[in-house]
Chains A and B, each alone.
Chain A
Amino acid sequence: GATITSYAQSESGPQVSGTVTDASSHTPLPGVTVMAKGSSAGTTTDANGQFTLPVSAGSALIFSYVGYAKKEVQAGSTPLAIDLAPDLQQLSEVVVTGYSEQNRKTLTSAISSVKGDALKDIPAASPDQLLQGKAPGVQVSANSGVPGGGIFIRIRGSNSVNASNDPLYVVDGVFINNTNLIATGLGNQVSANPLADLNPQDIESIEILKDANATAIYGSRGANGVVLITTKRGKAGDKTSITFNTYHALSKAAKQYNLVTGPELAALENERFLNDGGNPAQLPFRSAAAGGRGLPEEQQTYDRLSDVFRTAQTHSYELSAAGGSAKTQFYIGAGYFSQESIARPSAFNRFSLRVNLDNSVTDKLRIGTSTALARTHRNVSSNDNNPVGVINSALFPRTNLPIYNPDGSYAKYGSFDNHLALINNLNNDAVGTRVISNVYGQYALLKNLTLRSSWSIDFNDMYENNFNNTLILAGQPRGTASSFLSRDITLLNEQTLNYNVNFGENHSLQALVGNTLQQNTFQRTSLAGQQFPGNDLTTIASAATQTGSSSRSQAGLVSFFGKATYSFKERYTADVSVRADASSRFGADNRWGYFPAVGLGWRLGEESFVQDLNIFQELKLRGSIGRTGNQAGISDFASLGLVQGGANYLDLPGTAPLQLANPNLSWESTQQWNVGLDAAVLQNHLVLELNYYDKYTSGLLLNVPVPRKTGFSSVVENFGAVSNKGIEVQLTANWLPKTTAVQWSTSFNVARNVNKIEKLAAPITTGSRDIFRLEEGAPLYSFWLYKQTGVSRENGDAQYEDVNGDGRITVADRKLVGNAWPNYFGGVTNSVNYKGLDFGFTLNFEQGAKIMNMNRFFLVHGGTQSNIGYLSEQLQRWQKPGDVTDIPRLTSVASSNNYGGVVQNLSDRYLEDGSFLRVRTLTLGYSLPKETIASVHLSSLRVYVQAANLFTFTPYSGLDPEVNSQSGVSNTKNFDWATVPQPRTVQVGVTVGL
């Protein structure tokens, strides 16, 4: 409360002055609105939280500030000391928006916030993965269980075919790169997620900007949504708080591939041989005496998979200090995180440091920095589309074949390497260095007018060194090595001018204008060496043949932007924003793009006719419409007709046409409207947020197929359109009053997105075996396969739908048989606190997405693949007339189309329902009573156990429904091919406050 002390009146008339601070941290609060009740006199506090108002003592003053409960004080003698308490109501929390902050009450946009507390302690390397199931409309799935690997993240669906669909990430105002820099070929998987360079423990909150009103201020980079990551900062207080946090986890694969035994394999092979018309006396598996490979029952079974999958360890240590004086606040943190993959030999570790500093130089000038440094180390190995991948080399070879040759050397079969050779010899290191830093100065030109200038760098560096010795196939014949140095640097300069004012009690206006200049440079140098003197000399310097290459590319972006929010009585709010961007990637005439948006909010709950109902504690209607753009994912020089060097012959330099010019190339543009409803009922026990959106993206940056007779296969054009429409629901229940000893809350969210390609020049096929196909009228990520109608009970041959009815099966009978989009997806977060005990769980689910199970595609091959074994499912094949099954009889005869032939095994029998419900985390923690630990000079101590991915309920037959092994190939998803599954993890942790 206000403290009243003695007061000497000044000469210039009656005045009231004082200081406003945060009730808990006692930090001065700048920018607090101070109004004299019933008059138009008002002011805001300065950088030190101080104010002076020309009213007489005894006047009633109203203090209001975003995120804090409004307070009315009878001004006694000054100076006043006012403590403002944070407003605990969820609906009045502060939301970080583009370039500013806003009270959720007056928000007209669709923005999801996730607090740092909800993210910590999950054993995942990168912060984006932590968003899984937490925010409605935000679909997050790991591409594989490889630590630090790529993540699939889509905010309200996919807008683009060729340009990137990843959101823009902004960390403390720095637009960061999220391009994978690992150059080592690892199948089709994106091997690194650059967001894994951020330590999740440093994060204060993550805001996900979803609708156009929220994202238009980011203009050409906002179309895919924006993820604003705010890291922790110090608060002024009496005492520096030091926190130590550690956890240790063990992970295992929750499920294993089910392969046939050696005898089963031999029986299948004999059956195939007979079905193919082989002579019964010449069965491949007949007694060795008769010249065969031994009878089926004599075959051994070798287990390779157990060598690959291990119990993997995760360790995390984190030490941070936060605090500060009235003038200077700081947060410093250091972390070490190491995680092994459950599939040998991959591993990831990260050292990270962070310094966030803020200093008030004078009353008007404030300066500061957010600086993070990370060093990551990945031991990478290939999988998925690569016969020399570790999982492939254990999964695919036939189980009856020994692992070692009789002489003890590694046995290798077909195109596959030996899994133990790989595990013991793979030597691929990728070391990342990342600096994300921002320094700013902020000057109060006038009381309500602040100028801020900031200078940022995102420096991302990846240094890879690979050596393949002669024991593995990649090292044939005398050792091979490669080295890559890749550097991706973004420089950013930004000015904003902020104007904040309240006219009287009822009107408030927030406005800003700004500009940014941005430059991105990408460079890579690569070296390769062949023929080494031995397996111990591993650097390229030792190679007999050394070759090298380098590349460089650059892009610039110039932007101006502005926005304003006007609010009347915090009841009616209007937002307007616009950004103009110019990109170097487009032709001079089409360089500039303009991205406007408006939003309106009406808090119906404040109207008397609603208040009279006495049902709603909050009821708000929101609506917004706007346009955003996209230019990511195309090459820096996509608009130019180019000829490229490197087309060499006879070691002479050659040139060859690279791409066709398109001087009209311009922005991809997304129009989006959004309507929303926020409501709180039952004394705020139940809080609901609803959104409906409709997005239409046109002028897609598309690789439009051109006739190949031109010498090109495609040209980048603004052609085509994609729409996404959807609904998002978030429901939060606080089951018990705030006053009870037990606190229990549950948050549930679900979203549906309907994606559709509205316009396309010609169908585009993509991915391995052209399994994905983009067609007008269908969603992205649609699978293009032959539709198997059944297996003939009479002869055991597969039957396929003859789509064009011409009586034969040709490629014209391939059709879209499903897609990788879920019908619904979402999550549940539940937490219960009782005294020191906390219990929580999070679930996430997806319903209706299809997965192409390539493991079955390969390993249920009916005998067509002489170097590949079988999954047990092959045993379900048709054997004799009358059998009812969808697995056709074994045969390698092409004309049957059972497993080969025209159909190429591209049957939809391998396309499965990928729905799942997963218990993502389950946590039980205990915080020791303060009195108990005070004796050992601790301020807090919490211990907990947690299980991650404990249960997954799914009809999917593969190891894991969260899979995207072709993540490096655009427009593909839910493709399962020898991919590391999400691990089941048990961890224990402790958090100590000093």
Chain B
Amino acid sequence: CDNLLEPTPAQQLPADKAITDAGSARAAAIGAYDQVQAYYRLNWPVLGFLPGENVRFNGTLNQFLQIDQNQLSADNVLITEAWTQMYQAVNSANNLIAALPGISDPLLPAAEKNQLLGEVHFLRALVYFDLGRGWGGVPLVLTPTRTKENGQGLRRSTLAQTYDQVLADLTQAETLLPDGATRNRAVKATARALRARLHLYRQQWAPAETYATQVIASSNYRLVTPYRAFSTAPFLSQESVFELSFSNSDANTMWNNWFPSALGGQFNFQPVPAAIAQLNDPAVGGTRSALLASTVIAGANVTYGNLYSRSAQRDDPSYVLRLAEQYLIRAEARARLGKLTDAIADLNAVRARAGLSPTAATTADQLLLAIENERKIEFAFESDRWFDLVRSGRAGEVLGVTDQRRWLFPIPFNDLVADRDLEQNPGY
């Protein structure tokens, strides 16, 4: 009877025996990457570009249409999914952060132990940073969940507290991580690059400049030419500071959302005519016109987004941190700090790579607008435009989303019901 009544799971492990030695610690770190990859595969890029004005939703699913039209409601299933995935990634990171110090395995040298710990601190920082810029202050869970009672009474923190936690994790990560030029796992420079972005979002211009400079100064990174090179197989270009790699067995099918059905896609995300015009304008898009491709369907020319294009290999990465952004972060920080010449140089570095003439901006205000517009084109199909405009307070002016309460995503309705500690963002 005992055999009959106590079968052993063949493909799962008891949670308390999951992280005990070198092998299982490595696997848990990989698992944390996998969960960050999960929300960056589709949901996070979509929440970054679709509320902006470059891309329209051309499919049938209302949850995307709501995002496109800046009409989110709290029952939007994509919002719910992203929120869920992000906290899953946090829990994975928390598990390893809690277990690693207790592991003494001769096969896990101190250096590797530090590296793994640094990596999950970085990943947790990334998730909380994204949660913060998406929803504002969120509950800060820092210990692994064992029972559903864990975290009871934990309310939303403020945005400042959330960003403080991001900073704490990044500081830890920077200490623990090795130097190096790995681009799809975190190294010191990865933490610094995210830190530069964090300071930019917090309008801490001097440290933003400092940290961006540390990355830009590293010989491991450079702007690659032509523009398309960073998104060309085998990827992991020198421009990449952090990208999430995919492979055929761990596939990214983002291309399917961009390609027209004649090419086997669903054409859900369609560049709008204005964006097509800008990308194709030699004075604005330059070589970034390579983000577009076209094909003839029923006698008509159809233009589509081509950033994700590996339909057979399905190994398009998700782009998280690129050197071009570090230049633009520093340009903006310097413009704010009154270092206009340096700022212009940084902006021009990005423009030159795209085959454009130097910027005509001369005043700080002109320059800030030029940087904002440069980001719109440079990261046209990446997760940036919406957060950029919200950060600068210009989402109302540029996108017409005048109700500032709509600048934050709604907390998923279902989670509000399940979690008494949670409070909805105003306006939803």
CB neighbors of A among B1-28 (8 A)? 1, 3-7, 9-16, 18, 24, 26-28
Q: Is the interface of A mostly helix, strand, loop or mixed?
A: loop
Whether B35 pairs with A656 at a CB distance below 8 angstroms is yes
B150 interface contact, C-beta 8 A: yes
Q: A508 to B263, alpha carbons, bound, how many Å?
A: 77
User: B66 — nearest CB in chain A belongs to which residue?
Assistant: A904
Q: Identify the interface centre among A555, A712, A713, A895: most chain B CB within 10 Å of its CB.
A: A713
A703-728 vs B, Cβ < 8 Å mask (1 yes, 0 no): 01111111111010000000000000
Q: Identify the interface centre among B30, B59, B265: most chain A CB within 10 Å of its CB.
A: B30
Say which one of A358-366, A646-654, A937-945 lies at the interface with B.
Answer: A646-654
B104 interface contact, C-beta 8 A: no
Residues of B with C-beta under 8 A to A387? 60, 266
Whether A770 pairs with B75 at a CB distance below 8 angstroms is yes
Whether B33 pairs with A649 at a CB distance below 8 angstroms is yes
Whether A707 pairs with B419 at a CB distance below 8 angstroms is yes
Whether A708 pairs with B71 at a CB distance below 8 angstroms is no
Q: A656 to B73, alpha carbons, bound, how many Å?
A: 30
Whether A762 pairs with B58 at a CB distance below 8 angstroms is no
Residues of B with C-beta under 8 A to A866? 58
Say which one of B42-50, B138-146, B285-293 lies at the interface with A.
Answer: B138-146
Whether A656 pairs with B88 at a CB distance below 8 angstroms is yes
B175 interface contact, C-beta 8 A: no
Whether B146 pairs with A641 at a CB distance below 8 angstroms is yes
Known A-B contacts A710-B145, A894-B69; the reply to A584 vs B5 at CB < 8 A is: yes
Whether B5 pairs with A556 at a CB distance below 8 angstroms is yes
B62 interface contact, C-beta 8 A: yes
CB neighbors of A among B56-71 (8 A)? 58-60, 62-63, 65-66, 69-71
Name the distance in Å between A865's Cβ and chain B's nearest Cβ: 6
Residues of B with C-beta under 8 A to A545? 248-249
Q: A715 to B145, alpha carbons, bound, how many Å?
A: 12
Specify which of B13, B15, B34 is in contact with A654 (CB 8 Å cutoff): B34
Q: A868 to B151, alpha carbons, bound, how many Å?
A: 46
Q: A764 to B418, alpha carbons, bound, how many Å?
A: 9
Q: A811 to B72, alpha carbons, bound, how many Å?
A: 10
Residues of A with C-beta under 8 A to B151? 707, 709-710
Specify which of B3, B4, B37, B299 is in contact with A649 (CB 8 Å cutoff): B37
Whether B268 pairs with A558 at a CB distance below 8 angstroms is no
CB neighbors of B among A222-237 (8 A)? none
B261 interface contact, C-beta 8 A: yes
Q: A556 to B276, alpha carbons, bound, how many Å?
A: 61
Specify which of B1, B7, B92, B312 is in contact with A636 (CB 8 Å cutoff): B7
Whether B31 pairs with A647 at a CB distance below 8 angstroms is yes
Residues of A with C-beta under 8 A to B31? 647, 649, 654-656
Whether B27 pairs with A904 at a CB distance below 8 angstroms is no
User: B26 — nearest CB in chain A belongs to which residue?
Assistant: A652
B223-257 vs A, Cβ < 8 Å mask (1 yes, 0 no): 00000000000000000000011011110000010
B264 interface contact, C-beta 8 A: yes
User: A473 — nearest CB in chain B belongs to which residue?
Assistant: B264
CB neighbors of A among B273-327 (8 A)? 297-299, 311-312, 314
Specify which of B60, B94, B298, B299 is in contact with A415 (CB 8 Å cutoff): B60
Whether A765 pairs with B414 at a CB distance below 8 angstroms is yes
Whether A530 pairs with B13 at a CB distance below 8 angstroms is no
CB neighbors of B among A881-913 (8 A)? 894-895, 900-902, 904-906
Name the distance in Å between B104's Cβ and chain A's nearest Cβ: 20
A553 interface contact, C-beta 8 A: yes
Residues of B with C-beta under 8 A to A764? 414
Q: A715 to B69, alpha carbons, bound, how many Å?
A: 35
Known A-B contacts A655-B24, A901-B69; the reply to A650 vs B30 at CB < 8 A is: yes
Residues of B with C-beta under 8 A to A653? 27, 30
Say which one of A404-412, A670-678, A734-742 lies at the interface with B.
Answer: A404-412
User: A867 — nearest CB in chain B belongs to which residue?
Assistant: B58
A65 interface contact, C-beta 8 A: no
Q: A715 to B148, alpha carbons, bound, how many Å?
A: 8
Whether B27 pairs with A654 at a CB distance below 8 angstroms is yes
Interface size, B (range): 35 or more
A823 interface contact, C-beta 8 A: no
Say which one of A314-322, A436-444, A568-576, A657-665 lies at the interface with B.
Answer: A657-665
Whether B12 pairs with A651 at a CB distance below 8 angstroms is no
Residues of B with C-beta under 8 A to A401? 298
Residues of B with C-beta under 8 A to A478? 312
Known A-B contacts A412-B261, A476-B264, A707-B415; the reply to A558 vs B5 at CB < 8 A is: yes
B262 interface contact, C-beta 8 A: yes
Name the distance in Å between B239's Cβ and chain A's nearest Cβ: 19
B326-351 vs A, Cβ < 8 Å mask (1 yes, 0 no): 00000000000000000000000000
B132 interface contact, C-beta 8 A: no
B105 interface contact, C-beta 8 A: no
Q: A867 to B264, alpha carbons, bound, how many Å?
A: 16
Whether A406 pairs with B298 at a CB distance below 8 angstroms is yes
B423 interface contact, C-beta 8 A: no
Q: A715 to B419, alpha carbons, bound, how many Å?
A: 14
User: A547 — nearest CB in chain B belongs to which residue?
Assistant: B249
Specify which of A414, A644, A710, A858 is in contact with B266 (CB 8 Å cutoff): A414
A125 interface contact, C-beta 8 A: no
Residues of A with C-beta under 8 A to B205? none
A591 interface contact, C-beta 8 A: yes
Residues of A with C-beta under 8 A to B87? 708-711
B95 interface contact, C-beta 8 A: yes
Q: A865 to B57, alpha carbons, bound, how many Å?
A: 10
Residues of B with C-beta under 8 A to A648? 30, 34, 249-250
Whether A417 pairs with B261 at a CB distance below 8 angstroms is yes
Specify which of B18, B146, B185, B428 is in contact with A810 (CB 8 Å cutoff): B428
A552 interface contact, C-beta 8 A: yes
User: A864 — nearest CB in chain B belongs to which residue?
Assistant: B65
Whether B62 pairs with A900 at a CB distance below 8 angstroms is yes
Residues of B with C-beta under 8 A to A517? 1, 4
CB neighbors of A among B75-132 (8 A)? 75, 77, 83-84, 87-88, 90-92, 94-95
Known A-B contacts A591-B5, A710-B150, A864-B65; the reply to A647 vs B34 at CB < 8 A is: yes
Whether A900 pairs with B13 at a CB distance below 8 angstroms is no
Specify which of B77, B95, B410, B421 is in contact with A707 (CB 8 Å cutoff): B421
Known A-B contacts A591-B5, A655-B24; the reply to A762 vs B418 at CB < 8 A is: yes
Whether A711 pairs with B75 at a CB distance below 8 angstroms is no
Residues of A with C-beta under 8 A to B33? 649-650, 654
A-B contact pairs, 15 of them (CB 8 A): A415-B60, A415-B268, A547-B249, A551-B10, A643-B15, A655-B31, A707-B148, A707-B421, A709-B151, A709-B419, A713-B84, A762-B417, A858-B60, A866-B58, A894-B70
The list of the 9 closest CB pairs from A to B, nearest first, reads A476-B264, A711-B91, A654-B30, A556-B4, A707-B419, A415-B266, A654-B31, A705-B418, A641-B15
Binding site for A on B (CB under 8 A): 1, 3-7, 9-16, 18, 24, 26-35, 37, 58-60, 62-63, 65-66, 69-71, 73-75, 77, 83-84, 87-88, 90-92, 94-95, 138-139, 141, 145-148, 150-152, 154, 184-185, 244-245, 247-250, 256, 261-268, 297-299, 311-312, 314, 410, 412-415, 417-419, 421-422, 428
A710-B91, A867-B267, A901-B66 known; 15 new pairs, CB 8 Å cut-off, are A473-B266, A475-B264, A531-B312, A640-B12, A649-B37, A656-B32, A657-B15, A660-B148, A707-B418, A710-B151, A713-B84, A811-B410, A867-B59, A902-B71, A905-B62
Binding site for B on A (CB under 8 A): 387, 396, 401-402, 405-406, 411-417, 473, 475-478, 517, 519, 530-531, 545, 547, 551-558, 582-584, 588, 591, 636-637, 640-658, 660-661, 704-713, 715, 761-765, 769-770, 810-811, 814, 858, 864-868, 894-895, 900-902, 904-906
